Amino acid sequence: MNGTKMRVERLSAYYGKTKAISEISVGFPERKVSAIIGPSGCGKSTLIRCLNRMHETLPRTRVEGQILLDGEDILELDPVHVRRRVGMVFQKPNPFVTMSIYDNVSVALRFNGRHSREDTDKAVVRSLQQAALWEEVKDRVDAPALSLSGGQQQRLCIARALAAEPEVLLMDEPCSALDPVATAKIEGLVNELKNSYTVIIVTHNMQQAGRVADYTAFLYLGKLVEVGATADLFERPKERLTEQYITGRFG
C-alpha cells in the first residue's frame, strides 16, 4: 500500500454564500488513480479545483478546512508554488491560442525557472511523448496549437501540464469533449501516468472510472457519500445512495 499523497480534512468551499461542498474528508493515495464521481452539480469540479487552489481565483470564493500535500497544509503555502506541484487539466481543452504547439509545452518550463534551449527541447519532446501526441505532431511542432483537433488539443494540454513536472495531476472530465478513440487514448495515458504521478480524475462516466481508477469517491449534493477501492465501490456499495447512482436508478 502506498502512502497518502494528498488528503483533505473537513473541506468546505463557498461561492459567495453558497456552500458548494461541505466538510469533505478524503485521502488520495500516492501513484494511484483516484476518481471522483457524482451527478452534475454535486461539487466534483469545486473539490478538485480546491486541490491546486484554483477555486480561490474566482471572485467571492472561500475555502475552509485543511488540504494536505505530503502532510503540509497547502492553504498556508504560496499558491503559485502549490500549482507547480499540483498540475491541472481542464474539461475543455484550453491551449494558449496565440502559441505554437512547441510553445504551449515549453511555456510551462518558463514559469518554473530558466532552462537551456537544449533542456527545453528535451522536456518538450518527453512531455509530448508521455501525452501520446509526439508521433502525430513531431513534424509540425511550430504549427499553431489551434490547428490540432479537439482530442489532440486535450493531449497537448496534458503534455503542457506534465512539462511542469508536477507531483499530482488533477483532471476535470478530460474526455467529456472527445470521441471514443481519443477517450481511449487518454485513458491509456492515465494508466501510464500513475507510474510516476498521483492522478485525481473527475468523471461523469462510470465505465471510465471502472477502467482507470484504483479508488473512487462518490459525491452527492456537496457531501462525500462513499469512498473505496473502485471494484468494491461498484460491486459492493455500502450506501444505498451509491448503489442507486451506479445502477442508474436515481432521483
Binding site for ligand ATP (CB under 6 A): 15, 18, 20, 38, 40-46, 58, 204
Describe the chain by its helix, strand, coil percentages, rounded to 5.
40, 25, 35
The residue from 32, 44, 84, 211 that contacts another protein (CB under 8 A) is 84
State which of positions 99-118 bind another protein (CB under 8 A). Answer: 99-100, 107-108, 110-112
Q: Is 142 in the site for another protein (CB under 8 A)?
A: no
Query: 199 near 171, Cβ under 8 Å?
Result: yes
Q: Which does 208 bind (CB under 5 to 8 A by kind): another protein, Mg ion, ligand ATP, none?
A: none
- The cell numbers describing 189, all together, are 495515458
Question: What amino acid occupies position 133?
Answer: L
- The cell numbers describing 167, all together, are 507531483
Strand partners, 34: 200, 215
Closest separation between CB of residue 1 and Mg ion, Å?
30
Order of strands, edge to edge, in the sheet holding 72-73?
A: 18-29, 4-15, 61-69, 72-73
- The cell numbers describing 171, all together, are 483532471
State which of positions 18-47 bind Mg ion (CB under 5 A). Answer: 45
Nearest residue relative to ligand ATP (C-beta):
45
- The cell numbers describing 181, all together, are 478513440
CA distance 94 to 172: 12
Find the part of the chain contacting another protein (CB under 8 A) among 18-26, 81-89, 212-220, 239-247. 81-89
State which of positions 199-228 bind another protein (CB under 8 A). Answer: none
Exposure of 45 in the CB half-sphere (CA atoms within 13 A) = 12
DSSP-assigned letter for residue 197: S
Q: Considering the complex, state which of residue 79 and residue 144 has its C-beta at the smaller distance from ligand ATP.
A: 79
Other Cβ atoms within 10 Å of 173 Cβ, number: 21
CA distance 21 to 55: 12
Q: Which does 15 bind (CB under 5 to 8 A by kind): Mg ion, ligand ATP, another protein, none?
A: ligand ATP
Q: Which does 130 bind (CB under 5 to 8 A by kind): ligand ATP, another protein, Mg ion, none?
A: none
Q: Is 186 in the site for another protein (CB under 8 A)?
A: no
Find the part of the chain contacting another protein (CB under 8 A) among 124-132, 141-149, 201-209, 225-233. 141-149
Q: Is 203 in the site for Mg ion (CB under 5 A)?
A: no
CA 158 to chain centre: 10
List of residues contacting another protein (CB under 8 A): 52, 54, 57, 59, 80-81, 83-84, 87-88, 90, 92, 94-100, 107-108, 110-112, 144-146, 157, 160-161, 164
